[in-house]
């Protein structure tokens, strides 16, 4: 039935096409004869021959165009003015370079008074509010202030507890494939890749947590996690408001309150004198390999951006293995900067506190180094 109906419909269309053309032609001829025979209607025109020709769509369009040119619409001119102003404003905005900062809690500004984040279930936090709502005292805020960048052109993608392999995953996938069980962090921000694609300058600050986190876990194991409260207090920056004397008193009191057994005390000393050295030695190859992956993944997303590798400062200079770890990482960053045509920025004199994060003065120091390294700001 459907096929038959379709056949009938096609046949009807063909019949209409065949019979309508002659009929319309005959109707037009008859109308012309009637008009010619009548004296009641007189057509006055400057071009009689043109008056006899029907107006084509092209003629109508040309006529409308000429009319518009001869009699411009005032409202159109009024509408064009704001559009021109918007274009000028957009051109001015486009002159701002876009700076994107990748890193861990140092980049995020942890320890400063006004870091923006929201809590999630478990130990995880959502740092998205800090991407553009970061503290003006962190080095990203200071760079933005110096270069006159608004928050749409200076983005802070610092993620606390992030390691170099974690950052490589964030750049490649926009998320961490799984939780980092040692640090307890897990991030999922697909917009990471969009920010990187749009950047003119990208700074990379990463690698400290690669060794710090295993050491904190090691300390927890050595003390049967009696050290957890002290570690959380230090890393949260809660000791910053105290004077140096008060801070040390708080730390000593916290250690005493742990009431470590002899076995726990021995395990802690073993960690400090040999365990940390082993952790740093095992971590370095993984971190250096991840740094190469980070650079390569950034280049895939944005081949033209200037990439700045921020060096390392040692917040625990009294421990020899840490001096060696950061010295090797600084040397390695210099090497890959030459290999991949990157910019390396050394920050050896960054002022930090016991929570291992930069002070306001430390952030200003890093920002000054970055501003001086940015090409064509």
Q: Read off the pLDDT of residues 33-60 as tens digits, 9 standing for 90 and up.
A: 333 333 332 222 233 333 334 444 444 4
- 197-208: average pLDDT: 97
Q: Read off the pLDDT of residues 127-182 as tens digits, 9 standing for 90 and up.
A: 999 999 999 999 999 999 999 999 999 999 999 999 999 999 999 999 999 999 98
Q: Is the pLDDT of residue 28 over 90?
A: no
d(CA 219, CA 231): 9
Highest mean pLDDT among 21-30, 155-164, 227-236: 155-164
Strand (E) or helix (H) holding 201 = strand 201-205
Residue 350 token pair: 């960054």
Q: Is the pLDDT of residue 125 over 70?
A: yes
d(CA 19, CA 17): 6
- 239-256: average pLDDT: 68
Q: Read off the pLDDT of residues 312-326 as tens digits, 9 standing for 90 and up.
A: 998 877 788 999 999
* Per-domain boundaries in the chain: 2-66, 98-373
Residue 352 token pair: 């930090």
d(CA 156, CA 363): 13
> 319, exposed or middle or buried, with CB in 10 Å at 0-12, 13-18, 19+?
middle
| Higher-pLDDT residue of 44, 237 | 237
Q: How confident is the model at residue 240 (pLDDT cuts 50, 70, 90)?
A: low
Q: Read off the pLDDT of residues 347-372 as tens digits, 9 standing for 90 and up.
A: 999 998 877 899 999 999 999 999 99
Q: CA nearest 167: which of 129, 210, 124, 122? A: 210
Q: CA nearest 302: which of 129, 138, 210, 171? A: 171
- 224-252: average pLDDT: 69
The arrangement of secondary structure in 98-373, i.e. its CATH architecture, is 3-Layer(aba) Sandwich (3.40)
d(CA 172, CA 296): 10
């Amino acid at each position: 039935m459907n096929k038959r109906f379709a056949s009938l419909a096609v046949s009807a269309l063909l019949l209409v096409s065949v019979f309508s053309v002659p009929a319309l032609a005959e109707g037009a001829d008859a109308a012309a004869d009637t008009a010619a025979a009548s004296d009641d209607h007189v057509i006055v025109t400057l071009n009689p021959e043109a008056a006899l020709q029907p107006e084509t769509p092209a003629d109508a369009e040309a006529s409308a165009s000429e009319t518009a040119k001869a009699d411009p619409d005032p409202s159109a001119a009024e509408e064009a003015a704001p559009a021109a102003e918007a274009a000028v404003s957009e051109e001015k905005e486009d002159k701002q370079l876009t700076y994107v900062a990748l890193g861990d809690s140092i980049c995020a500004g942890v320890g400063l008074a006004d870091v923006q984040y929201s809590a999630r279930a478990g130990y995880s936090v959502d740092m998205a509010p800090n991407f553009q709502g970061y503290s003006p005292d962190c080095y990203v805020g200071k760079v933005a202030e110096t270069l006159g960048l608004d928050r749409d052109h200076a983005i802070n993608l610092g993620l606390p507890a992030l390691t170099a392999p974690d950052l490589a995953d964030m750049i490649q996938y926009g998320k961490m494939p799984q939780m980092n069980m040692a640090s307890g962090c897990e991030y999922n921000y697909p917009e990471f890749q969009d920010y990187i694609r749009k950047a003119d300058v990208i700074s990379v600050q990463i690698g400290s947590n690669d060794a710090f986190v295993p050491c904190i876990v090691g300390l927890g194991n050595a003390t049967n996690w009696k050290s957890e409260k002290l570690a959380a207090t230090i890393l949260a920056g809660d000791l910053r408001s105290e004077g140096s004397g008060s801070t040390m008193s708080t730390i000593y009191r916290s250690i005493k309150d742990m009431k470590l057994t002899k076995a726990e005390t021995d395990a802690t000393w073993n960690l400090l004198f040999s365990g940390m050295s082993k952790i740093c030695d095992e971590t370095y190859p993984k971190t250096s390999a991840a740094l190469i992956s980070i650079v390569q993944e950034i280049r895939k997303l944005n081949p033209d951006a200037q990439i700045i590798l921020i060096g390392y400062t040692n917040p625990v200079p009294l421990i020899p293995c840490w001096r060696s770890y950061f010295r090797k990482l600084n040397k390695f960053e210099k090497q890959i900067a030459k290999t991949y045509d990157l910019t390396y920025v050394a920050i050896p004199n960054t002022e930090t506190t016991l929570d291992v994060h930069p002070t306001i003065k430390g952030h200003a120091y890093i920002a000054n180094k970055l501003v001086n390294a940015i090409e064509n700001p």
